[in-house]
A and B are shown apart, each in its own frame.
Chain A
Amino acid sequence: MKGIISTAIAIAVGLVVLAGYFIETPLLVNLRRLLLDWAVILAAVALFVGLANLVKVHSARVRDRQKGGFYSVVLVLCLLATLLAGLALRPEHPVMAAVFNAVQFPVEASLMALLTVSLVYASVRLLRRRRNLLSVIFLVTAVIILLGTAPLPFGEIPILGDLLRPFFTQVLAAAGARGILIGVALGSLATGLRILFGADRPYGSR
């Protein structure tokens, strides 16, 4: 019974929103807006649900004295402090901006820099691990794109920057990207239809 109700609601909402795109009647438009607002509110609430789950998991780790519990303590304390400061000072406050610029931004940027080092190291070890044609193709493509992205300190390489890189990025990569986009579009359409028909029930019992 529960599954039937949820399926009926999903199909009805989907049909109403879809019909709102084709039939510009005030009733359908307003109904679509209402349903869309509900979806946005639920998404925002989901952010808080995720936040609460994070606090619960790490609190349990602290309570059970699991390995790495100290970091959980730091995380929970920082989270609560930032939340309370944001609620009290508002996000536009310079303190809140400083917290973001001094903590979150450098941390994420550093992780990206480490990723650069790791990718280079992995490329060095690639042929050591997998010595096959695909590995060679992968490395050659990466080198060509890197050399063609920017001029080298001693100057541009004529063929790479003018011919090879545009060919790789605008022909080969674009062709693959378009194929992926078409596949994504068809998949989204099929998924929408399956949800409208009740074949897929990502929200419910199956």
Chain B
Amino acid sequence: MAEIACPTCGKTNPDGVAACQFCGTSFQPAPGGAAIHPGEKPVKKATAEFEGVRPKPSDDDLIRPGDPPVKKKTSELEQALPSWLKNLRGHPDQPPEPAPDEPPAPAPAGEAERVEFPDWLAGLEDDKTRVEEEQVPDWLANLRGRMQEEGEVPPAASPPDTPAAPAVDDLPREEMPGWLSRLGDGEAVLKDAVARPAIHPDENARPLPRENTSPTGAGTDQPVPEARLPGEEPDWLSRLQPEADYLPLETAGEALMPGGGLAGTPTARPGEEIPDWLAAAAGVAAAEGSPASPGGPAGVTPALIAGGEESPARTDSSLPLESPDWLSTIKPEQAPAPGPAAETGDGQVDGSLEPAQLPTWVQAMRPVESVVAAAPLGESEELPAEEQGPLAGLRGVLPAAPGMGAFRKPPAYSIKLQASEDQARNAAQLERLVAGEGQRSELPEPSLLGPARILRWVVALLLLLAVLLPVASGMQVAPDLSGYPPEMVAARNVVQDPALVPVNAPVLIAFDYEPALAGELEAAAAPLIDNLLFTGARLALVSTIPSGPALAERFMLETQSFHQYTGGEEYVNLGYLAGGPAGILDFAIDPPAAAPVTPGGADAWSLPPLAGVRELGDFTLLIIVTDSADTGRAWIEQASSHLQGRPVLMVISAQAEPMLRPYYESGQVQGLVTGLAGGKAYEQSIQRPGLGTAYWTAFSAGLFISVLIILAGGIWSLAGEPGSRKPYRVTEKP
């Protein structure tokens, strides 16, 4: 059953109705209006009625290549639209057309005869129930207005004078125009071509729906008649068709627009009559340039056609496409060259990008993908391909987003601690130790009769008996020394040499030892000082230890009382020298300045013992009594250079002998008396028993007992089992 499409609202109405059931538009031809029927000759119409809606011609209305899209109010042009174009208006309440790549819906079971048509023609079959949504871009509306203002609107497209054109799908196959039917052979090519969106220079511009690309007003999804029906096509078409040469595919491909659609304006041969609207459209396009061909020469393709054109890249040249003659008139150079940047690698056109014009030298710099691509093919195909710029066509060159590089899955690390058996054991032990730190443990009460305490008491008693018994009894068990140490002999020789120590000569004695070692050093120094005092030496006592002056006074009182030396008369105590080595150096440089007064406050350098003494070299002898190797070294290093060759003698503790003996062997010290043994030897050598002799037996007995204890303890320890050793206890009190 035939239906009539309303030229105003575009909705279909049953055949036979006088007016549209939806909008009330009358389907009767207007008085004086001429409906165009197939086979009729085109008749020129007066288009003065359109003058009222003619927009003012101005340069701003012209669309030039590269101009940005400008929205214009085209509602005023609605009445100027041809009816066939109005029929193309889609109804907004109808569902959108499925995507081209979606499989077509299966045909209803009751329409077996339509199953004969290919899928892409199914849309025409279902035209009764399917309404295409149409959105006419601004440029197309402007172009229409221009055409109307030229008064060259096709007769069949002048609503409302023109009755609704019969739907193509309603026509029997044999009633189709011949040019449509001849296109049936190349329907596959045409289908593929019209299924592509057109490229518009304006990225905001939307491509025309496919169904609007046909000049007939039928969508390209509508079936294309396979055979031409000469008797049923319009006159203007029928005059064009007989002589129409069909372009071979190559020529047709050249005539295609970059967008892939058919391009070119049907151009009449000389002498032929062509529709005015077509000629006007061609003329306007040639004069102003087509918006669909921004980069090429003056566009000769009407935007109406160009909007539905497809890229020629996917045109199958093996298919016998017969193009109309007017297509053949389009010269290859008139067709805008497809921009290389407008197409992606797979030949698809990216309508969102403006074709880039790359210089040749930039194109030469573009890397070759076959050389650059090192990744496997399957992997690289999954990567995004660059669509513009010098890297166009390459895959995976740039990250998909800033900061997103070629991520690699991080290696998985086990959070389980990998510890060996020894490490685990040590860790457990450490844990026990740390845990034990916080626990309060009862300290064992030291026993008065413990083995260690008993041993200590035994050692102490043995030593006390060995030392005190000879002193208390007065017995002399230990034999005298069989020989004298050479350093002691050298010291004695210095003291007894009148050339070195003349009578009543000033002698400087440094008492630099602690009270704890006074017993040893007093016994060692007493015979030497005693021997010296026999020469009538005037003594100057000095010390770098705070307790030194007191020790000096004690020494003189305890050991040299025999000589009846008194302070300030035979000897003078210069007191304490602060500063250690610095004090010694200061005293060596200027003794009166370093120690000007005695501890009692008297002027030391005006006393008789220091008469005639102003510097260190004025002393005839320097005797250093010390228990410290450092102190002895400081005296030698700081004072020896100021002695002007005067002899130096040292009375030292036995513990400092190893460190100070080298100074004697090097000649910096002329004599050395070491410890109690040295004092005993000196006393023995001068035949004046003193402290050394008194301590000698006790000293020998103490050494002997000590050696015995050490040997016994060592043997006992060696004989004992190593496992019987008790752990060291810090809780024991000494």
Contacts and interface: CB of A to CB of B under 8 A. Distances in A.
Interface in A155-182: 155-156, 169-170, 173-174, 176-178, 180-181
Contacts of A169: 657-658, 661
Given A109-B519, A152-B478, A153-B701, A127 B463 contact: no
Interface stretch (B58-66, B192-200, B292-300, B452-460): B452-460
Contacts of A116: 463, 702, 706
B174 interface: no
Contacts of B709: 120, 123-124
A39 interface: yes
A44 interface: yes
B589 A150 contact: no
A153 B704 contact: yes
B599 A92 contact: yes
A4 B699 CA distance: 58
Contacts of B645: none
Contacts of A52: none
B516 A112 contact: yes
A150 B699 contact: yes
Interface stretch (A55-63, A65-73, A99-107, A195-203): A99-107
B549 interface: yes
Given A127-B717, A176-B658, A177-B662, A151 B553 contact: no
Given A47-B578, A108-B514, A109-B516, A121 B700 contact: no
B463 A117 contact: yes
B710 A90 contact: no
Contact of A150 (B514, B546, B677, B720): B677
A179 to B, nearest CB: 10
A139 interface: yes
A149 interface: yes
Contacts of B659: 177, 180-181
A198 to B, nearest CB: 21
B707 A143 contact: yes
A24 B371 CA distance: 84
Given A36-B586, A92-B567, A123-B713, A43 B515 contact: no
A150 B700 contact: yes
Interface residues on A, range: 35 or more
Contacts of A170: 661
B278 to A, nearest CB: 95
B686 interface: no
A126 B714 contact: yes
Contacts of B703: 146-147, 149-150, 152
Interface string B577-616: 1111011011001100110001111000000000000000
B600 A43 contact: no
B423 interface: no
Nearest to A110: B516
Given A109-B516, A151-B481, A43 B700 contact: no
Contact of B479 (A111, A155, A176): A155
B722 A131 contact: yes
Contacts of B590: 33
Interface in B457-508: 459-460, 463, 477-482
A12 interface: no
A206 interface: no
A174 B704 contact: no
Given A124-B713, A146-B706, A174-B665, A36 B589 contact: yes
Nearest to A112: B516
A91 interface: yes
Given A39-B582, A92-B600, A153-B477, A105 B589 contact: no
Nearest to A152: B704
A108 B713 contact: no
Contact of A117 (B459, B662, B720): B459
A40 interface: yes
Contact of A174 (B546, B580, B662): B662
Contacts of A37: 586, 593
Interface string A124-140: 11111101000010010
Nearest to B576: A44
B463 A43 contact: no
B619 interface: no
Contacts of B514: 108
A108 B455 CA distance: 24
A108 B550 CA distance: 14
A18 interface: no
A124 B459 contact: yes
B729 interface: no
Nearest to B475: A153
A120 B586 contact: no
A181 B594 CA distance: 28
Contacts of B479: 151, 155-156
Contact of B515 (A109, A117, A124, A143): A109
Given A108-B515, A181-B633, 8 more contacts: A91-B549, A104-B547, A105-B551, A109-B519, A112-B516, A124-B713, A126-B714, A177-B658
8 closest Cβ pairs, A-B complex: A124-B713, A127-B717, A173-B658, A108-B516, A44-B578, A43-B579, A40-B579, A112-B516
28 contacts: A33-B586, A33-B593, A36-B585, A39-B579, A40-B586, A90-B599, A91-B600, A92-B598, A97-B550, A104-B515, A108-B516, A112-B517, A123-B713, A124-B713, A124-B717, A127-B718, A143-B710, A150-B676, A151-B481, A152-B704, A153-B477, A155-B479, A156-B479, A156-B482, A173-B657, A173-B658, A174-B658, A180-B659
